Chain A
Amino acid sequence: MPENEFFAAMGDKIGKTIEKKLRYYFEVKNEDLHDVVNYIFNTMGCRLSTATATELYGGIEVLYHFSHDATGTYYCPRIIMKDKKKPQMKSITPIVRGAEWIEREMAEMFGIDFDGHPRKEPLLTRNNPTVEKLPLRLRRIS
């Protein structure tokens, strides 16, 4: 079973996990993100569907959605950033080229700094000179 092999290979790099039918949501530390994504994308051959950033009371979370098409299973690594004023995490674009746009969009919408992203510029308001460089939909910053 690919999920058993995955959890065995990753060991303690996987934090709190929510398991549902064909869905695995699990927390990953920022320093382990590249190892986990590398295994999911390159070893298991998953496809990145997209990623979701959410503003929570306790911080900002980014949830990547990787689809294992052979089994119809989703693997969703979750990164939680507690500093809402300067959220920063590793970019997975150097591993998954297809993550370029969604990470740029999350950076623009939620003010997340994706460390190592090859093209750090807004996706949606690149040519809008008068839009202030503030997160577009972050509402609870002071």
Chain B
Amino acid sequence: MSMVNNIPVGPFHPLLEEAEYFNIVVDGETVVDIDMDIGWMHRGHEFISEQKSFTQSIYLVERICGICSTSHPIACVHAFEDVDNIEIPERAAYIRSLVGELERIHSHLLWFGLAGHFIGYDTVWMWAWKYREPILQMFEIISGNRNHYGMMRIGGVAKDVDPARIPEMMKILDMVDDKMNMIIKVAKDDPVLRSRLKGVGVLTHKDAVELCAVGPTARASGVNTDVRQDEPNDAYGWVKFDVPVLPNGDVYDKFVVRALEIIESTKICRQCLEKLATVKGPILNNVKHISAGEGLGRYEAPRGEVFHFIKTDGTNRPIRHKVRAPSFNNIPTYVASCKGIPLADALITLASVDPCYCCTERSLKVVDINRDPFQIDLLKLSREKTQQIRSKIHE
């Protein structure tokens, strides 16, 4: 006998680090449908950015996400530079790519930890986060900060890399390489990981293309898309690296794609550091003015393509600043990947795209045109929304 039930996950749930609501419809143990409800985080970054100068906007977008806190600024400065085709110095290009790749390493290690935790394998969690720590120390060596590095500027970067610290950073990269090879070996050999991840939550190639998925989510489904190879900005045209693409689309392939990407990132970091030891010159071109026009910037963040669009009118602030984080494209793939799987596998499938809800909801600005926009009681709205969902479930 069929017994269909709704299982609410969220908006505040131990699985989710951020507020998000999923209505999982199950027939017995099998997921038959899933519906997502976003809009729990009222941020308004786009609107705020349109009130700020170009330089201030870069600091603002850095705070969209705490994990990819340099991907948004890189995409943002690419968009500003795209308006006037601004070039950046060679040394700045290597520093940008170095910081971007280090961020990919620490973000993927963070995801490994969370993925291990979600399937009840806390050893993976402790390992991954232990090896993430030296990467954060590298950020501190480069920028002085472990997070929110403040490195990006239109026309270059803000801080130079001290050549005397390069050998120290090379040693850290060697350690990360060793440990990643170990983690890949564990993923291949460990029966627990294989049984929990292999064949689970499959996103087919067709669905990934139709839903416009990006990043490791798409690459694990056989879609060869990576901004670093498609439009090689900064130093990506000068360094050698591979883009891992796997065919199966399950959580296991997403796990392995990320592990392989870490190894490729350490290769890129090494090449950048070798160049930074020899390439001299400025790190910032002096950009005084952005002309009227449109600019489009993107960067391959750890979760996929981050997209920024700028429309300017010749003043010192944008008249439109569009931000699209990768999770905005990847979260809708749940509809394809969760249907037909057991409920116990649904949670790791939800986590497998490495969703960042903060990024996704960057655009919401609640404006009641009849009132002062800043006087709306967001807490009240949030409570009403929860009550509404609760009553729907009990109907």
Contacts and interface: CB of A to CB of B under 8 A. Distances in A.
Contact of A50 (B47, B294, B307): B307
B192 interface: no
Interface stretch (B101-109, B113-121, B320-328, B344-352): B320-328
A69 B381 CA distance: 41
Contact of B332 (A50, A101, A124, A141): A101
- A-B pairs, top 8 by smallest CB distance, nearest first, are A98-B212, A124-B39, A72-B231, A50-B324, A52-B322, A127-B385, A54-B320, A97-B210
B85 interface: yes
A69 B225 contact: yes
Interface of B: 37-39, 47, 82, 85, 209-214, 224-225, 230-232, 294, 296, 298, 305, 307, 309, 311, 319-320, 322, 324, 328-329, 332, 361, 363-369, 381, 384-385, 388-389
A17 interface: no
A85 B242 CA distance: 50
Interface string A103-142: 0010001000000000000111111111110101111010
Interface string A47-89: 1111010100000000101010111101010000000000000
Secondary structure of the B contact surface, majority rule: mixed
A131 B332 contact: no
A137 B388 contact: no
Interface stretch (A7-15, A18-26, A30-38): A18-26
A123 to B, nearest CB: 7
B47 A137 contact: yes
B311 A54 contact: yes
A123 B230 CA distance: 31
B212 A123 contact: no
Contacts of B307: 49-50, 65
B363 A109 contact: yes
A47 to B, nearest CB: 5
B388 A127 contact: yes
Given A25-B294, A50-B328, A98-B212, A126 B367 contact: no
A98 B210 CA distance: 6
Interface of A: 18, 20-23, 25, 47-50, 52, 54, 63, 65, 67, 69-72, 74, 76, 96-102, 105, 109, 122-132, 134, 136-139, 141
Contact of B212 (A21, A47, A137): A47
Contacts of B38: 123-124
Contacts of B361: 124
B381 A48 contact: no
Nearest to A63: B309
B80 to A, nearest CB: 14
Contact of A23 (B82, B230, B305, B311): B82
Given A127-B37, A136-B366, 11 more contacts: A21-B85, A23-B82, A97-B210, A98-B212, A102-B324, A109-B365, A124-B39, A127-B388, A136-B365, A136-B367, A138-B369
A31 to B, nearest CB: 24
Given A134-B369, A139-B369, A125 B39 contact: yes
A130 B82 contact: no
Nearest to A72: B231
A22 B324 contact: no
Most chain A CB within 10 A, of B212, B232, B322, is at B212
A105 B85 CA distance: 30
A1 B311 CA distance: 28
B77 to A, nearest CB: 16
A127 B368 CA distance: 17
Contacts of A50: 307, 309, 322, 324, 328-329
A128 B332 contact: no
A127 to B, nearest CB: 4
B322 A128 contact: no
B319 A128 contact: no
Contacts of B210: 96-98
